[in-house]
Amino acid sequence: MLRYNSRMKKLDTNTLPDDVEALKAMVLELQNQRLEQQAETARLQQEGERWKRDFYQLLEKWQLELKKRFAASSEGLPGQGDLFNEIEDILNPDADEVAAEQHIAYTRKVGRRARLDASLPRKDVIHDISDEEKTCECCGTDMHRMGEDVSEKLDFIPAKVQVIRHVRPKYSCRTCEQHGTETKIKQAPMPPSMLPKSIATPSLLAQIITAKFQYGLPLYRQETMFKQFGADISRQTMSRWLVAVSQKLEPLYQCLHDILVQQPVLWADETTLKVIQSEKSKSYMWVYGCGGDKPPPDSTSPLPNIELYDYQDGRAGVHPKDFLQGYRGPLQVDGYQDYEQTEAKLAGCWAHARRKFVDAKTVQGKKKTGRPDVAIKYIQKLYRVERLMASKSADERLQARQTESTKVMNSFKEWLDAQLTQVPPISVLGKAVQYTLNQWSKLQVYLTDGRINIDNNRAERAIKPFVIGRKAWLFANTHGGADASAVLYSLVETAKANDLQPIDYLMSLFEQWPLIKDGDDIDHLLPWNIKISV
């Protein structure tokens, strides 16, 4: 009996045509209908797969947004840097791990008392009993002092402003005046000043600069604060002061730049900046630097710590190319491609690679282990080598990297290559795998020099003060204001990087800078050379 595939209905053999050609045409028509239905079924299956793929992609994005908005910003994971669990066993937790996941231990947090520095001045307030109470009630004998209890409280003395009157007596010859002879009036000159025709002193300028560029206090708030102290200083006046000071300190900034590009290893990063009078919607503040949080233990003359900000109206690669012109050493950056326009040898950032696998673990769900955990464990092994060698010399770090880290990276590379055919490329995990492979040549650069960091976190910490301050003052009005911010941020952050209090460094700098003449050496005013005024 002849059948066709539309709902499995039977054909009536009595109605079949006797003509062979007609019968053949009917069979061809049925075959065409079947092919169309198969094509429709395949299309619906593909549509279903696409909707399923889009659903999981949106779900991953939603989970990442929830993490960014509500979860802790720390990327640390339990067991960070711990290598006791092998990668091959991570997907099979033992009984202790399962038990640990099923029980939650609650511990009470104990508050920590504020620490009062021993160098702070102390004022003793004696709380003693009266002379009558110092007599024993039982026998009437005078009581002796057997000891004392001391408790300390921190007192705050509000800041105050004062006016410094520069009085310059004038002298003339009375005899010459009586005889009508022209006399020369003698008077002591005004002491040199950063801003000769303004009321600003070194301490006032240092206070305004550190308040804005170290603590993120906008000028309009400082204007209100000064009014409380009886000083009416408008934000426009303070803004003009900052621009004028930054322009005078341009040679010092250029000196720092010249020293920077001579260093063996640099790092860089960038962030957005809104400039009102700019034609572009986004401008950028770039930061370049050298040095680390601690001087290398094997260095008798540690390299300087420099952090320089550079304002530009775009993010094109020509900006770092021009700023670092002539520098051909290692430059540690994130994955931004336009850094390749520089002459430097780019070193990748393992923190950025790890961050993408942490995102993949987030969308994986709580209490689940999978491929993201394997990748994170590999990266933890690399960081453990760095942690163990943190106090060692650059040569010792290099040797450890070439012996231990290289093995880990070779195994990790094999694992990443295998994931290319097993993980959807549009998934969060797939993007993490692809990013790491694309950056692989740069991620290996730190293995060739013990002075290069494993990540670019040093640059991110350098750009963070600017990002925090931007949340308060929001934008710059003009290009000149943005350029001034770059110079002043550079001085503040470079002072901090060299273990100086920025306000002390700036006060000493503003006292000594007016004494500098054209052509004079200014090396003694660099943060690591300057003598701080007491």
| Chain position carrying tokens 């040898």 | 345
Residue spans of the chain under pLDDT 50: 1-8, 78-94, 96-106, 297-300
pLDDT at 81: 41
* Cβ–Cβ under 8 Å, residues 405 and 447: yes
Residue 396 exposed, middle or buried by CB count within 10 Å (0-12, 13-18, 19+):
middle
**Are 239 and 321 members of one domain?**
yes
Concatenated DSSP letters of 163-189: -------EE--HHHHHTT-----EEPP
pLDDT at 109: 57
pLDDT at 229: 87
pLDDT at 62: 66
Tokens representing 30 are: 């049925």
Q: Which of 455, 471, 495 represents a domain boundary (last residue)?
A: 455
Which own/partner contact pairs does 36-42 have at CB distance under 8 Å and 24+ positions apart? Answer: 37/5, 37/6
518 located within any domain? yes
Domain count, the chain: 2
**Are 326 and 464 members of one domain?**
yes
Q: What pTM was computed for the model?
A: 0.76
Q: Which of 409, 437, 455 represents a domain boundary (last residue)?
A: 455
**Are 441 and 503 members of one domain?**
no
**Are 436 and 463 members of one domain?**
no
Give the span between the Cα atoms of 416 and 411, in whole angstroms. 9
Count of CB atoms situated within 10 Å of the CB of 459: 23
**Are 502 and 528 members of one domain?**
yes
* Cβ–Cβ under 8 Å, residues 235 and 219: yes
- Tens digits of residue pLDDT in 279-321: 787 899 999 999 876 555 444 456 789 999 999 999 999 999 9
Give the span between the Cα atoms of 229 and 161, in whole angstroms. 7
Determine the distance from the C-alpha atom of residue 464 to the mean position of all C-alpha atoms in its chain, rounded to a whole number: 4
362 located within any domain? yes
58 located within any domain? no
Give the span between the Cα atoms of 29 and 225, in whole angstroms. 89
AA letter at 43: R
pLDDT at 427: 86
Give the span between the Cα atoms of 443 and 347, in whole angstroms. 6
Q: What are phi and psi of 202, to 5 degrees?
A: -55, -40
